[in-house]
Structure 1
Amino acid sequence: MAARLTERLKSLGHIASLVNAGSALPEVLSLITTAVCQRSSWSSAAIMAVDEASGYSVLVARYDPLFADRTKGAVDRWLLQTSPVKTVLDARQTMIIDDAQALPDSAGYRQEAMERDYRTVVLLPFSARDEQGRNMVLSVHAHEVRKVDAEETAFLETVALLGSLAVEKAHRLWLEAQQNDSLRQALEIHQHAMERVLTTEDTEAFIELCRRYLDRTLLLVDLTTNQVTSAGDTTGLNWPDRVAPATFRQLAQIVREAEIGQFEQLRRLSLLGYGEIDAIVEPCTAGGDVLGGILLLSDDRALDAVEALTAQELRAAFAMLLLRRRIRFDVQAETHGEFFSRLFSGDWRDEAATFARAHHLQLPLDEPARLAALSLAPATGKGTAKGPAASSADIEQALARLARQRLAGATAFAENATTEAGGTTYIIFLPERGASAKAARQLLEQMIEEIAWLSQAKPVACLSALCQRLEDYRDARRDCDRLLKLAARVGRRGIVESGDFGPLARLIAIADPDALRSFVEETLGAIEDYDRAHDGNLLPTLERFLANSGRYQATADALGIHVTTLRYRLQRLTDVFKLDLEDPDTRIALDVALRVRGTLAG
């Protein structure tokens, strides 16, 4: 018994070593059938795959030395309906057929057994599948009817398990080989593509690279130069050398809104002048900015893994090419703040060159637009802070983000100069784009709310008149500056307009605010203190009396009191504060103090 067990273990070891000697799947399957017969008493063996689509069990490997020369005309497939293979797979259990030549319901299998002269058969399911994903069954045959005991069954099931493991190993080796090939190709593409784009910015050179490595039609959208070029066969699309501006704007919007993927998401697009097309859209980004993108047009061929990897490498190279162009331009170009600073100063001569620079900076100055100016004053309330105040850069970024989200072409930047209160002024450029002053004001209100939260300060902002010419921007900036200075002098917050300030407010803006407050305090402070101490209303009565030019009945009606009550209050002002309300100079001083007080309270 021990000797037989030792022999069995040796046989399994030999079978395992033979099976592991193969690498390709057909070779592995052939070695399995050979090894099981050479190390056991079974005369032949075969492996069949179940092809559900065709309804047949198909021979994939066979070892039968007695009939090795009789392959011509040999049967290599059997109907599943008349084959026990389907039963074995459905039950996932070993099947023992005592005499295959006597099977009542398997005519094809019985005919095969008679032709090849085998009787007892053992069929064992594999846990692995072949290259086409089909389930497989191992069968071993004996020329005579024999008894298959539990020990033999266990031996054969172990062989089937070893065979399944060998098949899975072959699959892994094949996948590794495919992945290595893909990686080698990707590395080659990456190396060639990067060498190309790092040595030249020539678009044609990059297009030739695309044609060499990817047999697909591509549209390359370059937002740094506002151009679209094609690579591959575009005859069916009838693509021109230069697309219309409206089509380019549409393509630019498509790539800006696209999300970065791995060339797996097909989209239906409707392009102006070209109808509907199916394409995979992949943006090329750098530092969070979309510099362009690739549209891979569909031709009813599925994109395989290698092509997808190739496309990703080409996208990376195209992004590098676009980044080089952007950096080269940024070295020469002004920032938005520098550009507008020159525009506000009027230090420009060539209108066409100015519009061209604005176009490169993606500023639609050829369309009507408004300027908004926003400045901050430190918060004076205690206990209202939510945490550390945001930096000027954070505020600038938040304003720019809100501007871009709401209006295409809008931007925001911090000016170098500071306000009278020591804060920073932020300029927001707001193209109309079919909107209105009301929409711009709503956006400004949203900005004020967010900046107040970020900065823990109270912003003041203003909106300019519509700018339709380059010359309008200097006047608009000056008007905004005057409004912000006026608002700062009188302590106004929120959105201010020119109509909010009368002549007195403008006079206050150029006066000493501390002196004005002293004047108000000297003139009205005692009356305010008296009212607070006696829960009185002498100051409101005085204000209404002066506003009604000293008319008693009109003042009493406005206050909702009797004229006698009014005369009593006015007499109290005379008796307590020694005010002669009949004196014109006294009435003027009181009226001015009341107006200044209201303006400063804003």
Structure 2
Amino acid sequence: MSDQQKQVMALSRVASQISADENIDELLAGLIRSACEQGAWHLGSIMSVDLAHGYALVLTRYESSMLPQQTEDRWELATSPCLIALQTREPVYIRDALETTQFPGYRREAKVRGYRTVLVLPMTSSDTAGRPMVLTVASRAVREVGEEDLAFMSAVVQLGAIAVERAHRHRAQTQANEQLQRIIESQRTLLREVLAGESLATLTVSLGDLLDGPVLVVDFFSNYLLGSGSPLPSIYDDAAWAKWLTGAGGREFVPIVRDAIEFQRKSSVVLPIGQGSSVEATIQPLTIDDELVGALLTFGEGKPSDLQKLMLESVSFALSVQLMRSVIRFRIETRTLTELFFEIVERRWRSEDDVLGRARHLGLALTAPLRMIVIDFPGPAGQGTNLTVEGHRTVTMLARQQNITMHVVMVGSGLVCLLPDEEDSDATALTRLGQQISDAVFGTFGCAPIVVLGERFEGMEPLAQEWERCWRMIRVARNYGKTGFLRMPDLGPVPILMGAADSADVRIFVDGAIGKLIEYDKRTRSDYLQTLSAYLRSGCRSQLCANEMGLHVTTLRYRLSRINELFHIDVESPERRFAVELAIHLHQLTGTH
């Protein structure tokens, strides 16, 4: 048999010896044993290179001699050829370790263990900690290493690298399967707890155990926080953390988390936890019918794996189901009164006695004198629902603190508060309440609402009329950019004029004065109404108006002549000018466009 055939047979034996091992430690031990036996080396080792700490660590050894030997399991990279082999990706050949001056560590050990020639080969695989590895073999006699020897040992190392990568994949797959089974069992456990009606506190503790770390559940409907374990034990232990969450500091988390989800669209948030410290948390929104009802916060560094993401989805689903109960309870309490309110203000009732009876069943006496406070929550799209829900709780709390009886109705992006107004009622109490509502909403949510206090009324039809009057005031306040607690004098004479005028008459007047011009602008996308409004604001002074609009005065006069020609609108006389200016003003306020 030729030398080439012997090497092929030797490689075959190496492959067969290491292919059966799935455990990485056993595989590496088999690899170095096969490399020494088939390559005619007396001893060898496989080492991992810890670049961060500057050491090469022995993972496994092979020794042909059965005599006990003094060995060294950690080598400084400065005295080891391992780093050179990894950097150059080439074998390092030491012909005689007893004579080498470049690697004094090998010279010392060669005297103790009795070896001479050393060959260090870089491996293309890594250990279980992700560190690169090298394979080292040694001979007890000085040995010349030729090209065939290097090729054979390189092939052995390559076979070992393939086997190691296969073992890594097998290990990762096994761990993934075990984790998947844990996730499936966790899903069953969570659903059993939810269906059994366990409390949110019990469920939160289970979540902390399942995710193997601290978690924080935020309930936006009740402004409630529940934590399982402290994210910073050096500052708060578990008991201190739970106490801190129930205080003022913990309550600040709710708007911070909601803002991060709804407006900043972030998947993580930095939470201030007092004592000049903060902690970063990953956010998992909790929704019901696309409505944000809460959030799950997890602490810890690192991007979650696919299986961990699956676990978080399962946990989020269980929490959403749990929070759905509080949402349903809240909606049942508010829906009935809201439906009754709209039936009255839209005048859809058939039997007045039936409506009065249903109102009495809800504790609302419509035949007694009442006052109305209407609250409008301006803000970006999507924010109104949460503000209304949390504003409901804020308003109810303020009324309870002042011992004021109140029925709160959710109306779109606002609230209507119906309050008894007896003869001996404190007239200033409602004013104080309205101002406090405005201040509390602004301080909590960072946006100023419009709060309107209505007049005294009694009965169903007066309730509908008072709602229309308050809503007109809110619409005027919106157009003028006014916020806060408002009364009729705060808005000037315009709302008084609109309140006295019938809305149908207002529309007829606006249509007759400038209706054709509005329709023409809408159809042709022209800006004749803007030009006419600017001209009136400038006191019908052409040059001043042209300067404000950035036009040449000839262009402005041409537009005015076209307005007169097309729509027969002439503003030269004071009476006609007043009528057109009033129509434009009412058009902007009533939104007839």
Distance 2:228 2:387 in 1: 35
2:469 matched to 1:479?
yes
2:249 matched to 1:237?
no
**TM-score, structure 1 normalization:** 0.58
The residue type paired with residue 4 of structure 1 is D
2:94 matched to 1:110?
no
Shift, 1:47, TM fit: 1.5
Report matched runs for 1:573-584 at 5 Å: none
Distance 2:169 2:372 in 1: 61
Tell me which residue corresponds to 2:62.
63
Q: 1:232-285, CA deviations, whole angstroms, 9 ceiling, x for partnerless residues? A: 4765526359946x6675343233224499x984623257xx985535253322
Tell me which residue corresponds to 2:453.
466
Indicate conservation of the 8 Å contact 1:211/1:232, yes or no. yes
Distance 2:457 2:414 in 1: 13
**Does the residue aligned with 1:101 lie in a helix, a strand or coil?**
coil
Distance 1:501 1:315 in 2: 50
Shift, 1:129, TM fit: 1.9
The residue type paired with residue 267 of structure 1 is V
The residue type paired with residue 65 of structure 1 is S
Distance 1:307 1:474 in 2: 55
Tell me which residue corresponds to 2:571.
none
Report matched runs for 1:216-255 at 5 Å: 216-232=213-229, 235-237=238-240, 239-240=242-243, 243=246, 250-255=252-257
Q: Greater shift after overlay, 160-169 or 203-212?
A: 203-212
Tell me which residue corresponds to 2:320.
319
Report matched runs for 1:45-56 at 5 Å: 45-56=44-55
Distance 1:86 1:399 in 2: 59
**Does the residue aligned with 2:240 lie in a helix, a strand or coil?**
coil
Tell me which residue corresponds to 1:359.
none
2:274 matched to 1:287?
no
**Does the residue aligned with 2:41 lie in a helix, a strand or coil?**
coil
Q: 1:513-536, CA deviations, whole angstroms, 9 ceiling, x for partnerless residues? A: 9xx98xxxxxxxxxxxxxxxxxxx
Measured at CA, do residues 592 and 169 of structure 1 come closer, stay the same or move farther in structure 2, by a change above 3 Å? closer
Report matched runs for 1:210-359 at 5 Å: 210=207, 212-214=209-211, 216-232=213-229, 235-237=238-240, 239-240=242-243, 243=246, 250-259=252-261, 265=268, 267-270=270-273, 278=279, 280=281, 282=283, 283-296=285-298, 313-327=314-328, 330=331, 333-334=334-335, 338=339, 340-341=341-342, 344=345, 347=356, 349=359
Distance 1:113 1:350 in 2: 101
Identity %: 25
Tell me which residue corresponds to 1:538.
none
Distance 1:239 1:230 in 2: 6
Distance 1:508 1:59 in 2: 92
Measured at CA, do residues 203 and 443 of structure 1 come closer, stay the same or move farther in structure 2, by a change above 3 Å? closer
Indicate conservation of the 8 Å contact 2:253/2:271, yes or no. no
Distance 1:176 1:24 in 2: 13
Indicate conservation of the 8 Å contact 1:121/1:142, yes or no. yes
Indicate conservation of the 8 Å contact 2:120/2:136, yes or no. yes
Q: 1:317-351, CA deviations, whole angstroms, 9 ceiling, x for partnerless residues? A: 21221124434654665179626415747857579
Report matched runs for 1:172-571 at 5 Å: 172-210=169-207, 212-214=209-211, 216-232=213-229, 235-237=238-240, 239-240=242-243, 243=246, 250-259=252-261, 265=268, 267-270=270-273, 278=279, 280=281, 282=283, 283-296=285-298, 313-327=314-328, 330=331, 333-334=334-335, 338=339, 340-341=341-342, 344=345, 347=356, 349=359, 369-370=374-375, 401=382, 403=384, 429=414, 433-434=438-439, 465-467=452-454, 474-479=464-469, 497-500=494-497, 509=505
Indicate conservation of the 8 Å contact 2:80/2:105, yes or no. yes
Q: 1:337-369, CA deviations, whole angstroms, 9 ceiling, x for partnerless residues? A: 6264157478575799679xxxxxxxxxx9953
| 1:124 maps to which of 121, 124, 140 | 121
| 1:78 maps to which of 72, 75, 81 | 75
Shift, 1:291, TM fit: 1.4
Shift, 1:126, TM fit: 0.8
Distance 1:81 1:506 in 2: 94
Measured at CA, do residues 242 and 342 of structure 1 come closer, stay the same or move farther in structure 2, by a change above 3 Å? farther
Distance 1:317 1:19 in 2: 46
Q: 1:108-144, CA deviations, whole angstroms, 9 ceiling, x for partnerless residues? A: 2123223333323222111122223332221222333
Shift, 1:103, TM fit: 1.3
Q: Greater shift after overlay, 427-436 or 168-177?
A: 427-436
| Root-mean-square deviation over aligned CA pairs | 5.3
Larger Cα-atom Rg: 1
**TM-score, structure 2 normalization:** 0.59
Report matched runs for 1:90-105 at 5 Å: 90-105=87-102
Q: Greater shift after overlay, 135-144 or 228-237?
A: 228-237
Structure 2 regions of 5+ residues with no counterpart?
231-236, 348-354, 366-370, 393-410, 416-433, 442-446, 475-492, 513-573, 587-593
Counting matched residue pairs gives: 440
Measured at CA, do residues 228 and 120 of structure 1 come closer, stay the same or move farther in structure 2, by a change above 3 Å? closer
Measured at CA, do residues 468 and 285 of structure 1 come closer, stay the same or move farther in structure 2, by a change above 3 Å? farther
**Does the residue aligned with 2:453 lie in a helix, a strand or coil?**
coil
Distance 2:372 2:495 in 1: 25
The residue type paired with residue 119 of structure 1 is R
Measured at CA, do residues 170 and 286 of structure 1 come closer, stay the same or move farther in structure 2, by a change above 3 Å? same
Tell me which residue corresponds to 1:487.
none
Tell me which residue corresponds to 1:5.
4
**Does the residue aligned with 1:58 lie in a helix, a strand or coil?**
strand
Distance 1:196 1:409 in 2: 28
Indicate conservation of the 8 Å contact 1:371/1:476, yes or no. no
Measured at CA, do residues 354 and 143 of structure 1 come closer, stay the same or move farther in structure 2, by a change above 3 Å? farther
Measured at CA, do residues 289 and 464 of structure 1 come closer, stay the same or move farther in structure 2, by a change above 3 Å? closer
